[in-house]
Amino acid sequence: MTTEVIVIGAGVVGLSAALAAQSRGLSVRVVEREAPAAGASAGNAGAFAFTDIFPLASPKIIRQAPKWLLDPLGPLSVPPAYAAKIAPWMLKFWRASWPARVRASTEAQTAMMNYSKAALEPALERDGLLHMLRKQGNIQVYEGEREFNASLDGWEARARHGIEFQHLKSPAEIAEIQPGLAPRFTHATFTPGWFSISDPKDYTIALADRFRENGGEIIIAEATALTDDGVTTTAGHLRGRVVLAAGAFSHLLAKTQGVNIPLETERGYNTTLPPDAFDLKTQITFGGHGFVVTTLTSGIRVGGAVELGGLKLPPNFKRSEAMLKKAKMFLPDLNTSGGKQWMGFRPSMPDSLPCIGPLPGHPNTICAFGHGHLGLTQSAGTGKIVADLLTGLNPGIDLAPFSPARF
């Protein structure tokens, strides 16, 4: 079976790329082993986090990491059973935290954020989904002046990149934007330009519906090997140019062509409470504790943190429970009953930058994976870049920092 383009993965990145390619007149098939929105695209916080320009690897994180890693329920953890396996990736992560590399990653991430933000609303309008976009902002809260002051360098860096924000220096000022926070949060920063989607699962399914309405086919099968002329799947061999957007499983397929990509699995946890669990006006980021609380069509979602634990270990839902317990402390009126727990796999690179561009040595395969917790945020931009690469156009952004060959 021959098609012009075969997209592997029906998550938000893969479907965004598929729709963008369709809009250029290309015939496209999508291969997905489960169903659209079956993975991380269903359970994320629903935010277009365009202000998140800093890589996870940084001198500050390296200083905090030993303390966090000793806490199995902390913001950053590695299960003991996975420690030896992840050691080579952690070495690359440490190297990515060197100041010069952090500066380079931040510049590249800022460019990608600006590109993706510019691409978002045109893509939503093209697909008839602009009504799902929300512009409710985000508030990051701090426990005391010391924690707030420690954040100021980061906000000054954001200001240099044109990001708008407002510092709040009393519980009363915070309550004007988001009532109901515990008084332990004395300072905050509000980012009005923080967008979100009404519900990430609904949005990803809507993308799949639009793709099918445009004549595209989603084949439910597992991709087992990349080839020079396409991809082998459990439903047979498909010929065509390939877009590899299989999220946390992408590096396994790259290996079938002899290419090693240092991708690790950032396992995200959350609990989604009923919609009336709390009167949430804006997304709240509890940065010192590594989680967010956000409102979606499906309910109030409490989730986040980073567990670098691979694809095979069983979920540790004590992490979800720990975040929910903290959320109740921080939002005393939060009703924590009736929640639904979730764990998903986020594909993470050591430098927090995605892999976008040809697979090394295999120009017929375009990589579009490794976005970490920024897949939704960068999905429209990634889709546009992929469509440009497929049609021989200049994407208008320097792709060297995102090259799959950079490691």
- Residue ranges of domains in the chain: 2-137+193-402
Tens digits of residue pLDDT in 197-234? 999 999 999 999 999 999 999 999 999 999 999 999 99
What mean pLDDT is predicted for residues 163-183?
Answer: 96
| pLDDT in the model for residue 332 | 98
Confidence of residue 69 (pLDDT cuts 50, 70, 90): low
pTM above 0.85, yes or no: yes
Percent of the chain surpassing pLDDT 90 = 86
| pLDDT in the model for residue 71 | 72
Residue-averaged pLDDT of the chain: 94
Distance CA 390, CA 407 (A): 24
Query: Which one has a higher pLDDT value, 2 or 250?
Result: 250
Residue 287 pLDDT more than 70? yes
Residue 305 pLDDT more than 90? no
Tens digits of residue pLDDT in 120-164? 999 999 999 999 999 999 999 999 999 999 999 999 989 998 889
What mean pLDDT is predicted for residues 166-193?
Answer: 96
What mean pLDDT is predicted for residues 105-126?
Answer: 97
CATH 3.40.50.980 fits 2-137+193-402, yes or no: no
**For residue 217, which phi and psi values (nearest 5 degrees)?**
-120, 135
Query: Which one has a higher pLDDT value, 388 or 66?
Result: 388
Residue 58 pLDDT more than 90? no
| pLDDT in the model for residue 70 | 62
| pLDDT in the model for residue 68 | 67
Residue 100 pLDDT more than 70? yes
What mean pLDDT is predicted for residues 300-317?
Answer: 91
Residue 65 pLDDT more than 70? no
Residue 87, CA distances (Å) to 258, 339, 350, 391 in order = 21, 35, 12, 39
Residue 277 pLDDT more than 90? yes
Number of other CB atoms surrounding residue 393 within 10 Å: 12
Residue 73 pLDDT more than 80? no
Tokens encoding 374:
């920024």
